Structure 1
Amino acid sequence: MQLFFSPTSPYVRKVLVAALELGIGDRIEKLASAAHPINRDPTIIASNPLGQVPTLIADDGTVVADSRVILSYLNDLAGGTLLPADPKARLRAEIDQSLADGITVAALLVRYETAARPAERLWPEWVAGQWDKVRTTLAHFEANPPGARIDVGTIALACALSYLDFRFPDHGWRDSCPALAAWYAAFEQRPSMAATRLA
């Protein structure tokens, strides 16, 4: 398998963490790419018209786009349990993945707004709105900690938190989320997380 890769993408990291947890990390070849919201990479577009990472090319040539779809594909391929068999547990994992991805989307939009948009066009209210999404979703996880599960939800959450630390080290999310911070401190010690740190 081949994966269009960016070392700073939290979504790529989700895929790599999942692959390692499933025991198939060594089957993925990383393809260098330069995904960007404005200067789009034609190399990725040739396989995925959205031009986004992660994009996985399966061994049979099937192109799988979007980290959620890729995680589902890898889980099925490996016969894994990152999407639990029990319907209630699976629903919780998928809900948590969606909420965690929402944190990542909001943080990425802040990043694009403050790093890619010309300063004279910066929209402070937009940035504030995205940060409020982060705040309220972190508060949800603080009130509903994920526990010891290893599934698509917890992987997505850990990758979202690591992206906040990577791009916004002064954000201070831990100050209002001590239980979540403690959960993350333990989760990021997993070998899959240690091997995929954002750079």
Structure 2
Amino acid sequence: MMQLYYSPTSPFSRKVRVVSRELARDKQINEILIDPWTDAALRTLNPLSKVPTLILEDGMAVFESAVICDYLDQLARSSNPKSGVIPNDGAERLSALKWQALADGMMAATGRLFADSKRAETDRSEFVMERQAYAIQSGIDAILDGLAQLRTEEPHIGTWSVLIALYYVDFRWPDRRFDIPVRVRDWMAIMSERESLAETIFHLPHFDDDQKSIA
């Protein structure tokens, strides 16, 4: 059985966990909750000491969410060529990967902004924080403009990535600091009924220092 090291606050972990369920691969994966900031064993598996990290049955470590999702997609297609969340080729594939890239950038910006907001004011860079905030809101605006490309039937990797990025913004900024338009929230509500999202909801882990888990 494969092993997935993850944090429940990590949007990249959640993306992999959602995709594994959508591809019906989750029964082949043992999910292991860890604190990537303190778990020394993780560094022996992944030199970056980051989540998610997937350990294959042969012991190979695979990391970075896009790479793990690509592997799981290929694994699913090997048994059913019509399954998968990454389109095979052409403009559809490029569009799906583009949306994934946008969402991954939003996730990174959200995590960085949240981490910086917890620093003492003397240790912050207002320029960097404004840049991260601008990236998040610009990403949301782009999602509104391209919402028709994020299909609700047979959603692709871009769809899942965008959803998780939006939910991560809400998780880190429950005061709704960022403006997610009503039309986008309605779309999120429709998609939230999927079991894969309900089973992987963001929450603080039960570690001694919750605030460290900002991956």
Q: How many residues align?
A: 194
Deviations along 1:115-159, one digit per CA (max 9) or x if unpaired, are 2x3342122222111110011111111011013251111111111
TM-score, with length taken from structure 1: 0.92
Aligned equivalent of 2:16: 15
For 1:103 and 1:163, locate their aligned partners in 2 and report how far apart those are by CA, in whole Å: 9
The aligned residue for residue 27 of structure 1 is: 28
**Paired residue type of 2:136:** V
Match of 1:54 in 2: 52
Aligned-pair CA distance for 1:45 = 0.6
Q: Out of 167, 173, 180, which is 1:168 matched to?
A: 173
CA contact (8 A) 1:97 1:152 kept: yes
Name the SS of the counterpart of 2:45 in structure 1.
Answer: coil
Contact 1:6 1:32 in 2 (8 A): yes
What is the rounded CA distance, in whole Å, between the counterparts of 1:9 and 1:176 in structure 2?
20
Given residue 196 of structure 1, which amino acid in structure 2 is its aligned partner? T
**In percent, how many aligned pairs have the same letter?**
33
Equivalent pair of 2:110/2:169 in contact (CA under 8 Å): yes
Alignment partners' CA distance in 2, 1:99 and 1:178? 20
Q: Say yes or no: does 1:185 pair with 2:186.
A: no
Q: Give the letter for the 1:20 counterpart.
A: R
Q: Residue in 1 aligned with 2:146?
A: 144
SS at match of 1:90: helix
Consecutive unaligned residues of structure 2, counting only runs of 5 or more, are: 78-82, 204-215
Give yes or no for contact 1:142–1:178 (8 Å, CA) kept in 2: no
Q: For 1:176 and 1:5, locate their aligned partners in 2 and report how far apart those are by CA, in whole Å.
A: 27
| Structure 1, unpaired ranges of 5+ | none
Alignment check: 8 A CA contact 1:4 1:55 kept: yes
Q: CA deviation digits over 1:11-35, x for unaligned, max 9?
A: 1100000000001112111223211
